[in-house]
Amino acid sequence: MNMQFFYAPTSISLAAHIVLDEAGAQYAPRLIDLALNEQRSEAYLSINPKGRVPALATDDGLLTETPAILDYLAQAYPEADLLPNGGRFARARALEFNAYLCSTVHVAHAHKNRGRRWADDEAALEAMRRHVPNSMLNACSLIEADMLKGPWVMGEQYTVCDPYLFAISRWLESDGVDINQLPRIAAHRLRMRQRPAVARLMSGTYV
Ligand SMILES: N[C@@H](CCC(=O)N[C@@H](CS)C(=O)NCC(=O)O)C(=O)O
């Protein structure tokens, strides 16, 4: 398959990037410089009108939204064994977890630097920023207590949920969350850092 992967260091594209690497996929990485607002350039908008990363151009067409990209890659590379093996309920649980990261946790984080998506007056933007440590801690406390089975999100099996959690949990300190309050997520993060693909991507491609 001929794929192009549009990514940015520090961004959520890390989740799918880890999966691409671990699945041994052939793809061309395409860096989108968020600092230069390249995601809003005409050239990139003509590829991905959402103006966000990640995006994956595949032989089947363009895919955006991390949960969809993760699911697609896991199906495209079954030998990597990245979808839960426990039947339809386990598969739905993995999707449920990824949907929570996408729709709630990532969106809570975006209130820090991307508040202009929702408001333009300074007081509202400041109020959104102030709430980020609290909303991130609340969302991640649920993951800590209920969703992260251990050692991996789904239990004994490593799945696409793990790189996704890792890509978000590495933002926690800069979001003002005390990681000591989330010891199981902190341990998961260390476990992830020991994976060769993660070490590779964290030493150069991602910051
Ligand atoms: N729901 C999307 C969110 C993608 C997203 O918001 N990516 C951020 C980087 S973490 C981005 O491209 N931001 C650029 C912008 O908002 O202009 C996903 O899960 O992939």
Burial 23-51 (b: 16+ CB within 10 A, else e): bebebeeeebebeeebbeeeebeebbeee
Q: pLDDT at residue 207 above 90?
A: no
- Closest-CA residue, ligand 1 atom 16, reads 52
The 3-state DSSP class for residue 43 equals helix
DSSP 3-state helix, strand, coil percentages of the chain (rounded to 5)? 60, 10, 30
- Residues enclosing ligand 1, CB less than 6 A? 11-12, 34, 39, 51-54, 65-66, 102, 106, 114
The pTM of this model reads: 0.98
Which residue's alpha carbon is nearest to atom 6 within ligand 1? 52
Q: Find, among 69, 94, 61, 91, the residue nearest to 19 by Cα.
A: 69
Distance 77 CA to ligand 1 centre (A): 24
Beta strands 27-31 and 61-64 are unpaired
DSSP β-bridge partners for residue 58 = 61
* Mean pLDDT estimate for the chain: 97
Helix (H) or strand (E) holding 164: helix 161-169
Determine the residue of 17, 33, 38, 52 to mutate for testing ligand 1's pocket, defined as the one with the most ligand atoms within 8 A of the Cβ atom: 52
Q: 173 C-alpha to center of ligand 1: Å? A: 19
Task: Measure 105 CA to ligand 1 centroid, in angstroms.
Answer: 12
What mean pLDDT is predicted for residues 41-68? 98
Kindly report, residue by residue over 138-152, the tens digit of the pLDDT. Answer: 999 999 999 999 999
User: What's the 97 CA to ligand 1 centre distance in angstroms?
Assistant: 18
Atom of ligand 1 nearest to the CA of 54: 20
Residue 73 confidence (pLDDT) above 90: yes
For the stretch 101-134, pLDDT in tens is 999 999 999 999 999 999 999 999 999 999 999 9
Instruction: Please report the atom of ligand 1 found closest to the CA of residue 101.
Output: 19
pLDDT tens profile 187-199? 999 999 999 999 9
Q: What's at 24, amino acid-wise?
A: G
Q: Which residue's C-alpha comes closest to atom 11 of ligand 1?
A: 52
Look at ligand 1, atom 13, and give the residue with the nearest C-alpha: 52
CA of 106 to the centre of ligand 1 (A): 9
pLDDT score recorded for residue 149 = 98
